[in-house]
């Protein structure tokens, strides 16, 4: 059998034309972004978007993020206001996704936004995806490149581990941020629906208003925010003080440094580094055949907020 990792492709002038062709034909391919790897398809094509849902086994009700090179390429797809523009100018391209009102004559496939009035849009920063987005005549619908409910991939090998030889992936190295983009709803009092590298303090500074964190209770603001998600496939127990027998113990800092069952997200207790290592560590521990993961308490500030958000969801039984 052919080595499945040969589906990892380098981006150069020749392969760029090939990648463009794959996407223009309505096929899908995994691409690197600065947050996590994504599964990309033409956002204007119903059949391409349907393929994404199928291969990810994603519920149709959970809409996708549409990725653009910049605002000038967004055409007639969505409405935006002053606050959106302020945030766009400050943070884009970068790890932030906006929920905006969709225009009636938008060309985006209705499957991508699950027939809602709104759509999620993002302008990613990774050099390789920017080269591609600049050339393409359409934006890319792109969820994280993992099977629905699992841990997002942060390296090309992670993507191959998820989909085996069913998908090609462009090598963009290890994702710099390591957790998915901040999702901010700018249609409704600027609510953060998913925390990420850009936090509410950063956002408040720019728009001069208080943004709140929403976990959509009554109204489902973000369908992807419901139920268990980001799951490594084994039980996760949070806020553990002492290592439990037989568990992999995930910590921050130098605690139990030489213990074989202890895995530090960052020896310097740096929360950005910890976020970058979070999914990598969850995948590693699963591969090592541990049956359970215990995690020490992680400070709930800066990127710790996003880490705790993902871990809480991973721990739902």
Candidates 29, 45, 83, 122; binder of ligand TXA (CB under 6 A) is 122
> Do 13 and 174 form a contact (C-beta atoms < 8 A)?
no
41 binds ligand TXA (CB under 6 A): no
CB nearer to ligand TXA: pick between 38 and 304: 38
Provide the minimum distance between the beta carbon of 146 and ligand TXA in the complex, in angstroms, as a whole number.
8
Secondary structure of residue 288 in the 3-state scheme: coil
Other beta carbons within 10 angstroms of residue 81's beta carbon come to: 11
Candidates 119, 132, 282, 295; binder of ligand TXA (CB under 6 A) is 119
Q: Residues binding ligand TXA: what is the number (CB under 6 A)? A: 30
Provide the minimum distance between the beta carbon of 32 and ligand TXA in the complex, in angstroms, as a whole number.
9
Provide the minimum distance between the beta carbon of 112 and ligand TXA in the complex, in angstroms, as a whole number.
8
Provide the minimum distance between the beta carbon of 114 and Mg ion in the complex, in angstroms, as a whole number.
14
- Residue 19 CA, distance from chain mean position: 21
142 binds ligand TXA (CB under 6 A): yes
Residue 290: which residues within 8 A CB-CB, separation 6 or more?
234, 246, 247, 248, 261
Distance CA 264, CA 236 (A): 16
118 binds ligand TXA (CB under 6 A): yes
Q: In what order do the strands lie in the sheet with 248-251?
A: 236-237, 293-295, 248-251, 262-264
Stretch that binds Mg ion, among 18-26, 119-127, 138-146, 248-256 (CB under 5 A): 138-146
Number of helical (H) and strand (E) elements in the chain, helices listed first: 8, 15
Positions in the binding site for Mg ion (CB under 5 A): 144
Positions in the binding site for ligand TXA (CB under 6 A): 33, 35-36, 38, 62-65, 97, 99, 113, 116, 118-120, 122, 124, 142-144, 180-181, 183, 193-194, 221-225
């Amino acid at each position: 059998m052919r080595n499945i990792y040969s589906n990892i492709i380098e981006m150069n002038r020749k392969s760029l034309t090939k990648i463009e062709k794959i996407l223009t034909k309505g096929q899908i391919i995994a691409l690197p972004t600065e947050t996590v790897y994504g599964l990309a398809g033409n956002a204007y094509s119903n059949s391409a978007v349907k393929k994404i849902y199928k291969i990810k086994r994603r519920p149709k009700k959970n809409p996708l993020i549409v990725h653009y090179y910049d605002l000038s390429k967004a055409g007639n797809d969505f409405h935006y206001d002053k606050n959106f523009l302020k945030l766009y100018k400050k943070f884009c391209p970068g790890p932030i996704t906006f929920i905006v009102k969709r225009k009636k004559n938008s060309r985006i496939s209705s499957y991508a936004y699950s027939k809602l009035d709104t759509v999620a849009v993002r302008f990613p920063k990774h050099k390789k995806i920017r080269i591609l987005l600049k050339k393409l005549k359409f934006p890319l619908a792109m969820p994280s490149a993992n099977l629905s409910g699992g841990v997002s991939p942060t390296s090309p090998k992670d993507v191959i581990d998820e989909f085996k030889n069913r998908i090609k992936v462009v090598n963009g190295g290890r994702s710099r941020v390591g957790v998915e983009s901040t999702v901010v709803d700018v249609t409704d009092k600027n609510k953060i629906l998913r925390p990420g590298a850009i936090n509410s303090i950063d956002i408040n500074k720019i728009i001069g208003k208080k943004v709140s964190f929403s976990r959509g209770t009554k109204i489902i603001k973000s369908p992807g925010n419901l139920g268990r998600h980001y799951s490594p496939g084994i039980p996760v127990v949070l806020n553990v003080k002492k290592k439990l027998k037989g568990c992999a113990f995930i910590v921050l800092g130098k605690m139990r440094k030489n213990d074989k069952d202890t895995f530090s997200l960052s020896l310097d207790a740096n929360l950005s580094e910890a976020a970058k290592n979070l999914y990598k560590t969850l995948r590693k521990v699963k591969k090592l055949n541990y049956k359970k993961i215990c995690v020490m308490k992680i400070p709930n500030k800066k990127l710790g907020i996003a880490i705790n958000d993902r871990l809480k969801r991973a721990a739902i039984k």
